[in-house]
Amino acid sequence: MPDRELEILSETDDLWVLNKPSGISLLADRSGAGCLWDQVKAQLGKAYLVHRLDKGTSGVLLIAKTQACQSNLTRAFQARLIGKHYVASVVGDWSARSTRIIDLPLRKGRKSRYRVAGERENIKLRGSTYEVSPGQPDGKVSTTRVRRLKQLPERTLVSAKPTTGRTHQLRVHLAWVGYPIVGDHLYGKPDDPRQRASRLALHCHKLVLPTSDTFVAPLADDFPT
C-alpha cells in the first residue's frame, strides 16, 4: 500500500477522477501486496470501478460514486465513445511525422501475455498503417493511432490513442512493430540498456467523455524519458 494520499484531479456529484501512480495494482493480485482499490475504499468510501489501468501505467482513472454513473461510463467505454490519450516513451526512432495506425488483431498468448493474431514477419507497413496478413480467425480487432511528440536520445516520446480497449493493447502493438515501451519487460527486452527504467513509461494523459468533459493528468516526475 502506498504511503501517499490519492491524487484527486477532479470531483463531481457522481465521479472521482484520480491520477493513478505507477507501480501499484488497481485490484488485488497473487502477490498479496496492497492494491489501489483498498486505498480507494479507505479514503473515499463506497466506490464503483469503471475501467482499469495496468499496474505499471499511471494517469487518469475514473471512479464512480454511484451504480448509475458506473453503468453509464461502462457503456460509453464499450461503445468506444470515450477518447483515450496516452503518452509513452518507446525504444528507437519513431521517425514518422504524421499519425500512423497500428491495425493488428490481438489474442491471448502464453503466461498471461497477449500477442498479435498472426506472425511477426507478416506485419507490414502499408502507407501509414501497420497490418498483418493473413491474420488468425480468433484475433480481436485492435486499433491504435500513434504520433511522435519528441525525439529523445535512443528513444521517442509518442502519443498513443487506442480506439479499441484490449488488454495490454498499447504494449503489444508498440512492441510488435518494433518500438517497445521503455520499462516494459513483459513485451520488450530486459537486457536492452535502452529499455531499462525504474517504471513502465506509459501514462494515461487524457480522457474525454461523451459529454466533452475532459480530464488531464500531468506526467509524474518519475516518468522515464
Quote the CA–CA distance of 75 and 78 in Å, as a whole number.
Answer: 5
* Residue 11, C-beta contacts closer than 8 angstroms, at least 6 positions apart: 17
Give the residue from 27, 57, 30, 55 showing the smallest Cα distance to 41. Answer: 27
Quote the CA–CA distance of 58 and 181 in Å, as a whole number.
Answer: 14
**Is 93 marked active-site?**
no
Give the residue from 197, 95, 188, 192 showing the smallest Cα distance to 147. Answer: 95
Quote the CA–CA distance of 123 and 176 in Å, as a whole number.
Answer: 8
One of 3, 38, 54, 221 is an active-site residue; which one? 54
> In 104-207, which ranges are continuous DSSP H helix?
169-176
Active site residues: 54
